Amino acid sequence: MPILRPDQVDYLLNIINVKLYDILLILIPWVLSMTVKRLAQQKKARGEAQVGRRFMDVKLFRSGSRKWRIGLINGPNMPNLHNRHPDVYGPPQTIQQLEERVVTLGKALGVEVIPFHTNFDGEVLEWLHKNAFADAVDGNRLHAVIINPAGLNIYGENVRHCLEDSGLPYVEVHFSNIVVRELKSVFTRTAVGICHGLRKHSYTAALVAVAGFLDDGDFVRPLNYTEPTPA
């Protein structure tokens, strides 16, 4: 085996170094490019997963597709929601923000939420007279009601009686846990259900439940209830 002279060894090493340098010049940018691309794909996948979790199709909670009309009533003192005690009502929010939240959820569910708030029981009665009975304005009768009686809890028999006369199923909601607070409500005895103690999320639970039971008819029929006419 021939022995290379030192100058020949240097020459060969030179060639190897040059070739290796050329290879690295090509390889390093390619590796970096592929790494950046892979990281971008992973970030996009995580983002899409987060969006999917945040914006889950809430229609999965429904068994039908009819666009039900659901009234949302907030009674006396609820218009002052932004000033209510945060220990009970959570971070300050206006009644308009609360209503917008429920209306937006309704759109995602495929139902129409018609909000109404007032400090006067007579206005609640007039609103129900126009929207909750067979002779509703423009024939757009409600199919159900979600109500936070608030200041009407104890003295709102007139409103409760009106709801009963309408025959509409209604769900009572409260920010606070009225059992723990030992609060009595005249509305509870004829409500088809009650959601309370979850702050603003009580409304979420109520709306999802109402849309669900209107779809499949799985609820206790109120006195005077009539089946909705086919869409």
Closest CA to 159 of 134, 138, 185: 185
89 classed as catalytic: yes
Coil, helix or strand at residue 114:
strand
Question: Strands, E, within 30-120: which ranges?
Answer: 69-74, 112-117
Phi/psi-derived region of residue 197, left when phi > 0, alpha when psi is between -120 and 50, beta in every other case: left
**Choice among 89, 117, 143, 196 that is catalytic:** 89
Nearest one of 175, 78, 159, 172 to 121, comparing CA atoms: 159
Exactly one of 117, 174, 196, 203 is catalytic; name it. Answer: 174
- Answer yes or no: 82 catalytic: no
Pairing of strands 69-74, 112-117: parallel
**At 70, is the secondary structure helix, strand, or coil?**
strand
Residues carrying an active site annotation: 89, 174
